[in-house]
Amino acid sequence: MKNNKRGSSAVFLMVVLAALIAVTLALIYGARAECVKSRADGIINLAGDSVMSEYDRDIQKEYGIFLLKGDDAALSKKLRRYLEYSFKNMKDVDIEAAEVSGSRFSTSNIDPVKEQILEYMELAVAEDGFGMWKGGTERDEDESITESRSLRHGPTAVSLPSASLPDKSLTALAESLASDIKEIDKAFEKGTDTYLLNRYILTHFNSRTYKAKEEHFFNSEAEYILGGELTDRKNEKRVEMALKAMRFPLNLAHIYSDPAKKAETLAMAEILTPGAAAPATQALLASTWAYAESDNDVKLLWQSGKVPVTKDESTWAVDLDSAVDGITQGIFRPDIEKGYDYSQYLQVLLFFKDENVKVSRIMDLIQINTRMKYDSDFLINECFTGISIDVKVNGVDYSYEKKY
């Protein structure tokens, strides 16, 4: 009887021991699996960061934008290479799948690019005003006028991000500004997204009077963003026409508001066409005078001069006789030069320019300059601002999204 009890106890203890061993082994296996899973999570995350670290260094240095170049297959191959290297000292690890996709972060969506520009500008302002990246210089007169470049390479032109983007007339936009000059002050409200974007354009890209720090293809890049033509000369002409369209009604309004100028035009009109025709002639003379002043305004701006939005006697430059005689050679300088310079007038025009058009043309210029300087096959629409990662290790799926 005692032997039976001892045997039963022994069997019971063996069963309990076996159960404990099984539970212990299960816990050990589970802990190991969780450990592998946790470590795999860290390794995959790090591998994804390593892929993201292969951004275009030249573009980041020059424009402050992070862009990842490559197709999904090439990026997936890089990810697998990083994973295999990191997992090589771990036993029983099977990388069943490792895929990278950049389709959700294509630069065909310009918003992430714009966000990067704004973040970069905010950092620049916080750290050192605009001094940390502004390295350009004012152009010499001869350089700004005589050298013009044209983009004639068809494949480059048709692949530009803004190629199929609709755009409004720059001249019509400028004309509308003259009727609501209070809106012009908004172009200089610091801290707004539009202000930061426009300052980015005017400090990172060439204009007729400003040369950016780096060598670029176009000499009039800010004008390109406004005009969208593929030659410096045409873009400068578009901006010239816009500035004259903006200045003309403002100058005409000054003539009619200034008793002396109004009387001067009437006196000349009565000499040229006495009688009933005098008022019509006066209107023609006033328009001629206002246009001559507007033409001179643009010349002043090109020569690093300043022109106020609204003028008074001291800032008026052209006399009526010169305007009527059609004297256009040289520049008439007013008694006092004050107001906005050429760059500031560009900033005004940029302020009222469509944001999507501006960002798309910034991307155009990045592509054009990169193809000229670093990579003749570069296409910005083949770049990504982030990636999606899908990996399967030991039957466990891992998914991540990473973006700059």
Spatial neighbors of 258 by CB under 8 A, at least 6 apart, are 313
Mean pLDDT of 209-225: 94
Both tokens assigned to 62: 């020059």
CA dist 332 and 308 (Å) reads: 15
Closest CA to 331 of 318, 346, 319: 318
* Cβ(362)–Cβ(206) below 8 Å: no
* Contact criterion met (CB below 8 Å) for 242 and 174: yes
Q: Which residues of 126-142 are buried (b: 16+ CB within 10 A; e: fewer)?
A: eeeeeeebbebeebeee
Does residue 302 surpass a pLDDT of 90?
yes
d(CA 164, CA 151): 17
Map residue 130 onto helix, strand or coil. Answer: strand
- Per residue in 250-274, pLDDT (tens digit) is 999 999 999 999 999 999 999 999 9
CA distance 356 to 368: 18
| pLDDT for the residue numbered 329 | 79
CB atoms within 10 A of CB 350: 21
The whole-number pLDDT of residue 55 equals 98
Amino acid identity of 281? T
Of 333 and 13, the one with more pLDDT: 333
pLDDT of residue 20: 74
Q: What's the pLDDT band for 307 if we cut at 50, 70, 90?
A: very high
Indicate whether 136 pLDDT > 80.
no
Helix (H, G, I), strand (E, B) or coil at 41: helix
Per-residue pLDDT band at 1 (split at 50, 70, 90): low
pLDDT greater than 80 at residue 39? yes
Cα separation of 95 and 80, whole Å? 8
pLDDT of 18: 73
**Percentage of residues in the chain having pLDDT higher than 90:** 78
Least confident window among 19-23, 38-42, 51-55, 68-72: 19-23
Q: What is the pLDDT of residue 89?
A: 86
Tell me: the pLDDT tens digits for 166-197?
Answer: 999 999 999 999 888 989 999 999 989 999 99
β-pairing, 95-101 with 383-384? unpaired
Nearest to 349 by CA among 192, 169, 216: 169
Query: CA-to-CA distance for 345 and 352, rounded, in angstroms?
Result: 11
Mean pLDDT confidence for 130-153: 69
What is the enclosing helix (H) or strand (E) of 355? helix 355-373
Mean pLDDT of 320-331: 88
Average of pLDDT values for 281-295?
A: 98
337: nearest Cα among 307, 367, 310, 375: 307
Question: Which band of pLDDT confidence, cut at 50, 70 and 90, is reported for residue 314?
Answer: very high
**pLDDT computed for residue 31 by the predictor:** 56
Specify whether the CB–CB gap between 223 and 209 falls below 8 A: no
E strands within 179-338?
210-211
Who's near 2: CB < 8 A, 6+ residues apart?
A: none
Percentage of the chain beyond pLDDT 70 is: 90
Query: Quick one: average pLDDT of 202-217?
Result: 93
Query: Residue 247: which residues within 8 A CB-CB, separation 6 or more?
Result: 178, 293, 294, 297, 298, 307
Helix, strand counts (H, E) of the chain? 15, 7
Q: Given the structure tokens 């006092």, which residue do they identify?
A: 336
Other Cβ atoms less than 10 A from the Cβ of 109: the count is 11
Q: Token pair for residue 379? A: 């296409």
Mean pLDDT value across the chain = 91
> Residue range 350-366: average pLDDT?
98
Write the burial class of residue 63 (CB in 10 Å: 0-12 exposed, 13-18 middle, 19+ buried): buried
What residues contact 164, with CB distance under 8 A and at least 6 apart?
none
CA distance 65 to 79: 22
In whole angstroms, give the CA distance from residue 368 to residue 370: 6
Average pLDDT over residues 119-135: 74
Q: 129 — alpha (psi -120 to 50), left (phi > 0) or beta?
A: left
Nearest-angstrom CA–CA distance, 382 and 161: 11
Reported confidence tier of residue 92, pLDDT bands at 50, 70, 90: confident
Q: Which of 122-126, 205-209, 268-272, 395-399 has the lowest mean pLDDT?
A: 122-126
Q: What is the spatial distance between Cα 132 and Cα 88, in angstroms, rounded to a whole number?
A: 44
Which neighbouring-strand residues pair with 386?
Answer: 403
The 10s digit of each residue's pLDDT in 108-118 is: 999 999 999 99
pLDDT confidence of 140, banded at 50, 70, 90?
low
Going by pLDDT thresholds of 50, 70 and 90, the confidence category of residue 2 is low
Q: Report which of residues 125 and 151 the model is more confident about.
A: 151
| In the predicted structure, residue 9 carries a pLDDT above the cut 90 | no
